[in-house]
Amino acid sequence: MDIRRIGVIGDPVAHSLSPVFQQAAFDATGIPARYERWHTIAAELPERVAGLRTADCFGANVTVPHKVAVAALVDSLSETAQRIGAVNTVINQDGRLHGDNTDLYGFMRSLLTARPGVERDRILIIGAGGAARAVVAAVAEIGVTGITIANRSPERATQMLADLRVDGAAVIPLAEWDLMGAIRDHSVIVNATSIGWNDDQMVLAPELLDAVDPRGLIVDLTYRDTPLLIQAKARGIGILDGLPMLVHQGARSFELWTGLDAPIDIMMAAAERARET
């Protein structure tokens, strides 16, 4: 059988871990495929997506900043991709392109694994971008006890809740006073902002972490030891980084492309090894 093409579309993609753990999955299941990094600037996106229609291509993953734009370039969208308004997986179905969003599933799986009984928690989500949309949709679907969104631009959070048709969630500004009150009242805190890739920035001031219940959980979607996670761990608070979400979303994508069960343990081990190098 000829080698099939597959890849991740984004800008940048040089540091993406997807090629490593997806290639491990294809190799482990004996599917002849090469998973590549497809660096794509916005002007080249239509041509890149059109190139996914050929028979030798499974489809693609899509990452920052193209998840919204790709939704308009495919032939059909899953219900989840429509609701979130973003596509992270394109499946080539005999030349027709179907867009899906597996971030919701990835976050849900990682949260349910790390926090059994999470439906009893009140969840504070910081951020209102693409990743936050998947997180909010996931916790709404789980049916948690309460949801509050804190964002630098609160109007963006309000719009996100309206788009996702999530009722009963509160919106607060990303201000220390408001956060202090919210932190005392919530047992799971999720950083879904892009703050976390820089060591000199923390989305919550360290003194705010002193107010977090040690039986709580701090989640950072960034897949590294962020200052937030390091400081939370030092206070004995439970932590979860973004690697399990990344691998679970990728495993779901693999299943959509191939129709096979994803070798999740192999993918997780490959991602962990790649993160350490």
Q: Is 93 a residue that touches ligand NDP (CB under 6 A)?
A: no
Determine, following the binding rule CB under 6 A, whether residue 10 of this chain makes contact with ligand NDP: no
Q: Residue 154 CB, nearest distance to ligand NDP (Å)? A: 8
SS3 call for 25: helix
Options 152, 211, 269, 272; binder of ligand NDP; rule CB under 6 A? 152
Count of residues of this chain found to bind ligand NDP when the rule CB under 6 A is applied: 27
| Residues paired with residue 220 on neighbouring β-strands, in sequence order | 191
Concatenating the DSSP letter of every residue in 70-138 gives: HHTTSSEE-HHHHHHT--SEEEEETTEEEEE--HHHHHHHHHHHHSTTGGGSEEEEE--SHHHHHHHHH
Choosing from 62, 77, 108, 132, the residue that interacts with ligand NDP (CB under 6 A) is: 132
Closest CA to 96 of 61, 50, 34: 50
| Amino acid in the structure at residue 132 | A
* Binding residue for ligand NDP, selected from 46, 85, 129, 173, defined by CB under 6 A: 129
Q: Please enumerate in sequence order all residues whose Cβ is within 8 A of that of 123, keeping only pairs 6 or more positions apart, or say none.
A: 139, 144, 146, 147, 148, 186, 187, 188, 189, 190
The two three-digit tokens of residue 160, written as one number: 């996100």
Instruction: Please identify which residue in 7, 19, 99, 127 interacts with ligand NDP, judged by CB under 6 A.
Output: 127
Which lies closer to ligand NDP via its Cβ, residue 122 or residue 156? 156
Which amino acid appears at position 200 of this protein? Answer: D
- Asked whether position 71 contacts ligand NDP by CB under 6 A, the answer is no
Active site residue 233: no
Among 130, 227, 238, 263, binds ligand NDP (CB under 6 A): 130
Q: Which one, 4 or 220, has the nearer CB to ligand NDP?
A: 220
Q: Does 131 bind ligand NDP (CB under 6 A)?
A: yes
Contact 14, 39 (CB under 8 A): yes
Q: How far apart are the first and last CA of the chain?
A: 33
> Is residue 195 at the binding interface for ligand NDP, with CB under 6 A as the rule?
yes
Site membership for ligand NDP, residue 271 (CB under 6 A): no
Q: Which residues bind ligand NDP (CB under 6 A)?
A: 64, 103, 106, 127-132, 151-153, 156, 174, 192-197, 221-223, 242, 245-246, 249
